[in-house]
């Protein structure tokens, strides 16, 4: 499945020789850099658990998962800029504004985001009603009540008196929004019923909280080489780790994962073993 996803990611953006070549080279630098591809894998495997078998339906799930990865890559380009986190390493390679320049980085992120909507719109094998629902879902996930709202809140996140509930709200917006899109789109594509979709919404909520807390813990204890990105970018920010400490944060992280797993079971998907294995691999750091 990873190979199919990598191939599709390469196909959905112009080649690095297409004019303007520098812009497209920057897009591909960010999008095709080695990554876990967790969001597209999640989309595909949940869609399969909901009944998608193969052919055009599986192809649509792969493409939709790649849309989530495109938006994720765009968000990372922006998150790494000097006016944001000012990072110089991402996925063990120079961040886009370092490898190219700030202007090219901003334009490549904008181009990736716009292209993501176009890719969804051209899923001809999916009914128009479902396409519209997914496009609307993506616009909400990315917009001023989703990922962008989370980034704004993160830039202002200097209140050391913030409560854990307030930090969870920030993390839900900044990190959870794209998980919501990946998971809910899979449910839409496979035609899941309302109770399954409600369970998966609860799953993606707790998964987003767990994922962000894991990232915060890694940022505090790993080197740049181990994390494959610039670390110590959360100094001075109100995080659960800063408020509660390492031991309590790991306990909370396990609680998030337990809640996510319980919600996933309620969705009654056919490939729970596969999804559990993916989660175990993603959060293997907890066993170290």
- Domain holding 222: CATH number? 1.10.600.10
Are 187 and 197 in contact by the 8 Å Cβ rule? The answer is: yes
Q: What is the pLDDT of residue 227?
A: 56
Q: What is the pLDDT of residue 101?
A: 96
Domain count, the chain: 1
**How many other C-beta atoms lie within 10 A of the C-beta of residue 181?**
28
Q: What is the pLDDT of residue 264?
A: 95
Q: What is the pLDDT of residue 283?
A: 85
> For residue range 255-278, what is the model confidence (pLDDT) as tens digits?
999 999 999 999 999 999 999 998
Q: What is the pLDDT of residue 236?
A: 61
Are 256 and 187 in contact by the 8 Å Cβ rule? The answer is: no
Q: Give the burial class of 95: count Cβ atoms within 10 A of its Cβ; 0-12 exposed, 13-18 middle, 19 or more buried.
A: buried
Q: What is the pLDDT of residue 174?
A: 84
What residue numbers bound the domain in which 128 lies?
Answer: 2-287
Q: Which of 243, 245, 252 is nearest to 209 (CA)?
A: 252
> For residue range 62-93, what is the model confidence (pLDDT) as tens digits?
999 999 999 999 999 999 999 988 899 988 89
CA 260 to chain centre: 16
Q: Which of 32, 85, 35, 89 is nearest to 222 (CA)?
A: 89
Q: Which residues of the chain have pLDDT under 50?
A: none
CA 201 to chain centre: 15
Q: 237 to each of 110, 161, 224, how far by Cα in Å? A: 27, 10, 19
């Amino acid at each position: 499945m990873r190979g199919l996803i990598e191939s599709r990611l390469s196909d959905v953006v112009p080649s690095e020789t297409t004019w303007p070549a520098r812009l497209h080279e920057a897009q591909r630098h960010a999008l095709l850099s080695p990554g876990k591809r967790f969001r597209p894998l999640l989309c595909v495997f949940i869609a399969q658990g909901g009944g998608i078998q193969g052919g055009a339906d599986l192809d649509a799930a792969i493409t939709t998962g790649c849309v989530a990865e495109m938006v994720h890559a765009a968000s990372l380009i922006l998150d790494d800029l000097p006016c944001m986190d000012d990072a110089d390493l991402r996925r063990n390679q120079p961040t886009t504004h370092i490898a190219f320049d700030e202007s090219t980085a901003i334009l490549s992120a904008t181009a990736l985001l716009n292209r993501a909507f176009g890719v969804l719109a051209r899923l001809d094998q999916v009914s128009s009603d479902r396409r519209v629902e997914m496009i609307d879902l993506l616009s909400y996930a990315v917009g001023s009540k989703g990922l962008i709202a989370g980034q704004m809140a993160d830039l202002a996140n200097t209140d050391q008196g913030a409560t854990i509930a307030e930090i969870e709200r920030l993390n839900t917006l900044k990190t959870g929004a794209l998980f919501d899109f990946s998971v809910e789109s899979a449910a839409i594509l496979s035609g899941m019923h309302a109770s399954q979709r409600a369970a998966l919404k609860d799953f993606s909520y707790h998964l987003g909280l767990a994922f962000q807390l894991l990232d915060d813990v890694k940022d505090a204890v790993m080197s740049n080489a181990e994390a494959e990105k610039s670390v110590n970018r959360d100094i001075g920010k109100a995080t659960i780790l800063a408020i509660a400490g390492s031991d309590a944060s790991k306990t909370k992280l396990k609680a998030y994962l337990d809640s996510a797993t319980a919600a996933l079971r309620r969705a009654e998907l056919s490939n729970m073993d596969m999804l559990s294995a993916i989660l175990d691999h993603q959060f293997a750091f907890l066993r170290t």
